[in-house]
């Protein structure tokens, strides 16, 4: 299996050369570096062109007729890669020399669709920060079986994945992020498909230096105690409704993949379509407790949810006090 590196750039001249040098220093070299620039006005492309003259692998700079934005730029770049495996690459990190080799060996050994690892958080000068290691829910080296988890996100700069994933569904039609007015990010999209349709290798080893300099497109941010409390106790139907629609849309995605009758994906895609549909219906059952007009209808929805065994005690108490009673309409309900 061969590896392509998909590098999406935009005004990244400050740190780009260090990242390029770290790719060239990999113990397992990629067969190509594919660069998709999204309209840089600084020296980004000049740096890439100069690097390409001495790089130990071919470097291709893609032509585009318009700027695509962060997620679409990465996915467009990946779609133009020729390798069997693709590694997303941010413009401002530094890869440790064994990053590609370790992920490659795990995918090969585990027969996984993708692999991801932890990150070492560093400042703009590559010095460790108080954040230490960002685990992204990786408890240890392990293999996640298909549909063992239904994930929310993974950090793209830690992903190595099989290129075939891109062929299963057009990325231009991927669902919208449920809490943002935008389509799913490139890494969330690939990770959701990976976890549903194959095995995923988790690597408890920080294989990159993830530079935090205040201008990253994505940044780790630890929530304060107050923020955590507010997220836990806030009752807003808008995010719940958005998540319901999101899961429904994912169910449609996997049903369409199943309808392709590809022996590689048909069964798992059918299973994923059913499970995401069930997740959407579960949320609908809860929102009905709040949106139904009469107290009788709200009480009926509450009983259905209780009998289904899909609710925690704390959630049931909140739904009874705020939902069935109708108090939420005057106090908590958003939209």
Q: Residues 79-99: what's their mean pLDDT?
A: 97
Pick the CATH number of 3-211 from 3.20.20.140, 3.30.450.20, 3.40.50.150, 3.90.550.10: 3.90.550.10
pLDDT in tens, 237-292: 677 788 889 999 999 999 999 999 999 999 999 999 999 999 998 887 777 777 66
pLDDT band at 297 (very low <50, low <70, confident <90, very high): confident
pLDDT in tens, 200-230: 999 999 999 998 866 545 554 555 554 454 4
pLDDT band at 197 (very low <50, low <70, confident <90, very high): very high
3-class SS letters over the chain: CCEEEEEEECCCCCCHHHHHHHHHCCCCCCCEEEEEECCCCCCHHHHHHHHHCCCCCCEEECCCCCCCCHHHHHHHHHHCCCCCEEEEECCCCEECCCHHHHHHHHHHHHCCCEEEECEEEECCCCCEEEEEEECCCCCCCEEECCCCCCCCCCCHHHCEEEHHHHHCCCHHHCCECCCCCCECCHHHHHHHHHHHHCCEEEECCCCEEEECCCCCCCCCCCCCHHHHHHHHHCCCHHHHHHHHHHHHHHHHHHHHHHCCCCCCCHHHHHHHHHHHHHHHHHHHHHHHHHHCCCHHHHHHHHHHHHHHCCCCHHHHHHHHHHHHCCHHHCCCCCC
Q: Residues 176-193: what's their mean pLDDT?
A: 91
Domain ranges of the chain: 3-211, 225-329
Q: Residues 90-95: what's their mean pLDDT?
A: 95
């Amino acid at each position: 299996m061969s590896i392509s590196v998909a590098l999406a750039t935009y005004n990244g001249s400050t740190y780009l050369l260090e990242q390029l040098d770290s790719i060239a220093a990999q113990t397992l070299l990629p067969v190509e570096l594919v660069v998709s620039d999204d309209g840089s006005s600084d020296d980004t492309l000049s740096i890439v062109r100069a690097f390409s003259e001495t790089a130990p692998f071919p470097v291709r700079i893609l032509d585009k007729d318009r700027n695509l934005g962060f997620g679409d730029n990465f996915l467009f770049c990946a779609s133009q890669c020729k390798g069997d495996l693709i590694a997303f690459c941010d413009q401002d990190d530094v890869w440790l020399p064994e990053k590609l080799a370790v992920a490659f060996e795990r995918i090969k050994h585990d027969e996984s669709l993708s692999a991801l690892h932890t990150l070492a958080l560093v400042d703009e000068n590559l010095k460790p920060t108080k954040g230490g290691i960002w685990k992204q829910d990786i408890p240890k080296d392990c293999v996640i079986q298909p549909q063992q988890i239904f994930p929310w996100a993974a950090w793209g700069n830690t992903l190595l994945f099989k290129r075939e994933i891109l062929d299963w569904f057009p990325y231009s039609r991927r669902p919208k992020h449920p809490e943002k007015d935008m389509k799913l990010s490139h890494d969330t999209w690939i990770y959701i498909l990976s976890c549903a349709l194959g095995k995923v290798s988790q690597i408890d080893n920080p294989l990159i230096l993830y530079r935090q300099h205040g201008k990253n497109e994505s940044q780790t941010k630890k929530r304060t105690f107050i923020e955590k409390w507010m997220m836990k106790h806030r009752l807003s139907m808008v995010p719940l409704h958005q998540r319901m629609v999101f899961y429904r849309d994912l169910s449609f995605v996997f049903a369409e993949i199943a309808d392709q009758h590809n022996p590689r994906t048909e069964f798992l895609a059918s299973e994923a379509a059913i499970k995401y549909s069930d997740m959407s219906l579960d949320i609908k059952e809860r929102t009905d407790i709040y949106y139904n007009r009469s107290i009788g209808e709200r009480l009926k929805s509450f009983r259905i949810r209780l009998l289904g065994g899909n609710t925690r005690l704390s959630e049931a108490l909140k739904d009874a006090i705020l939902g069935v009673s109708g108090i939420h309409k005057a106090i908590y309900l958003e939209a």
